[in-house]
Amino acid sequence: MIEVKVPATSANMGPGFDCLGVAVDMYNRFLVEEIEEGLIFEGCDDKFKNEDNLIYISMKKCFEKIGYKPTGLRIKIESDVPVSRGLGSSAACIVGGVVGANELAGRVLNKKEILELISELEGHPDNVLPAFLGGVVVSAYENKQLIYSKVNVKEGIKFCALIPEFTLSTEKARGVLPKTIDYKDGVFNLGRVALMVSALNNGEFHLIKDACKDKLHQDYRAGLIENFYSIQKECERLNCLGVFLSGAGPTIMVMIREEDNDFSKEIQKFLDTLQSKWLAKELKMDTVGTVVKTIDSVTK
């Protein structure tokens, strides 16, 4: 039995639409093993216990690439990452499936090949790369060529995920985005993305509030998320470093100082006054990424 532990991710990070993501310490665990025959799932709803399961699809693609044919598979899922909340649950399934399959096949694919395959399966690399590599990752995907860089983030920050009970599909969140943007909006976001990366790298955390501003996706999606602006305003009143929509939403991610021990409980008080149920969950950045555990050792 092989265990693959994959962290949750928060993509876009304000202005970093489809190019900037961070791994956080909330995890999905996938336990996979080859069996004599059949396909057995454990730990998920019955509607996911079939060949359309994203973990299985990812494993199958990896096996096809390698040229390996398992006799049968048992897949057990231990999930802490909520589905359709903008925290990279799909990316975790893709990474877990590919890495698990590669382990079963004898570690045929190298790191570069795994990164390329998971990016191809996801369609864009902003979630899968931090899920695999950990930390904050800047990424691009052009002509099937993967380009990325891991950001050296100074110590001193942590995160608070504001997770609602309602879900939001990526398709619906994509559907409200415009087909084209104004030139000035593109320039606006370029400056803010550069500022975000520089502020994280230099430890200039007082710049994060301005770095979180966005013209490409957040305002378009805010209407799909109940109380988005009032929550954002309250977070700023509580002296957070910055607020951004996590992935496609509806989770709202907040960056706070490491020594701030009051924010999470104070924002939860505010969230409890809202009609929908929200959970404030404090998180740290995961710097390790995906970890594979076997009986004898732990390897990356």
CATH number assigned to the domain comprising residue 219: 3.30.70.890
CATH number of residue 82's parent domain: 3.30.230.10
User: 281: part of which helix (H) or strand (E)?
Assistant: strand 278-283
User: How far is the C-alpha of 298 from the C-alpha of 293, rounded, in Å?
Assistant: 5
User: Residues 225, 295: one domain?
Assistant: no
As annotated, the binding site includes 82-92
Residues in the chain: 300
Both tokens of 162, joined, read 């504001």
Rounded CA separation 269/280 (Å)? 9
| Res 300 pLDDT > 80 | no
Residue 299's pLDDT band, with cuts at 50, 70 and 90, is very low
Query: Mapping DSSP to helix (H, G, I), strand (E, B) and coil, where does residue 271 land?
Result: helix
What is the tens place of the pLDDT at every residue in 151-210?
999 999 999 999 999 998 888 989 999 999 999 999 999 999 999 999 999 999 999 999
Binding residues for ATP: 82-92
Instruction: Tell me phi and psi for residue 107, to 5 degrees.
Output: 55, 55
Do 189 and 146 fall within a single domain?
no
φ/ψ bin of 144: left (φ > 0), alpha (ψ from -120 to 50), beta (otherwise):
left
For 23, the 3-state DSSP assignment is strand
Does 184 share its domain with 36?
no
Residue 187 CB partners (closer than 8 Å, separation 6+):
none
For 203-281, where are the alpha helices, taking DSSP H only? Answer: 208-211, 218-222, 228-237, 263-271
Residue 259 predicted with pLDDT over 50: yes
Range of weakest confidence among 46-50, 98-102, 107-111: 46-50
pLDDT score recorded for residue 76: 96
For residues 174 and 12, the answer to whether their CB atoms sit within 8 Å is no
Question: The domain containing residue 273 runs over which residues?
Answer: 157-283
Q: How confident is the model at residue 296 (pLDDT cuts 50, 70, 90)?
A: low
- Asked if 89 and 53 sit in the same domain, the reply is yes
Instruction: Please spell the DSSP secondary structure of 166-218, one letter per residue.
Output: S---HHHHHHTS-SS--HHHHHHHHHHHHHHHHHHHHT-GGGHHHHT--SSSH
142 pLDDT more than 90: no
Same domain, 46 and 68: yes
Token pair for residue 78?
Answer: 């231990």
Query: Alpha carbon of 264 to those of 9, 213, 235, 286: distances in Å?
Result: 19, 22, 10, 19
pLDDT digits (tens, 9 = 90+) for 222-251: 999 999 999 999 999 999 999 999 999 999
Cα–Cα distance, 13 to 210 (Å, whole number): 12
Residue pair 95/292 in contact by the 8 Å Cβ criterion: no
Domain count, the chain: 2
- For residue 33, the cross-strand partners are 74
Query: What is the tens place of the pLDDT at every residue in 28-62?
Result: 999 999 999 999 999 988 888 999 999 999 999 99
Do residues 9 and 144 share a domain? yes
Same domain, 173 and 246: yes
Q: What is the mean pLDDT of residues 207-219?
A: 96
Which whole number is the average pLDDT over 135-139?
A: 97
pTM of the predicted model as reported, rounded to 2 decimal places: 0.93
User: Mean pLDDT across the stretch 71-80?
Assistant: 96
37 sits in which H/E element = none
Q: Are residues 16 and 133 in the same domain?
A: yes
Instruction: Indicate whether 146 and 16 sit together in one domain.
Output: yes
Residues 188 and 247 in one domain: yes
* 298 confidence band (pLDDT: 50, 70, 90): very low
Is residue 116 domain-shared with residue 221, that is, in the same domain?
A: no
Q: Say if CB 102 and CB 115 are below 8 A apart.
A: no
Residue 128: pLDDT over 80: yes
144 and 290 inside one domain:
yes
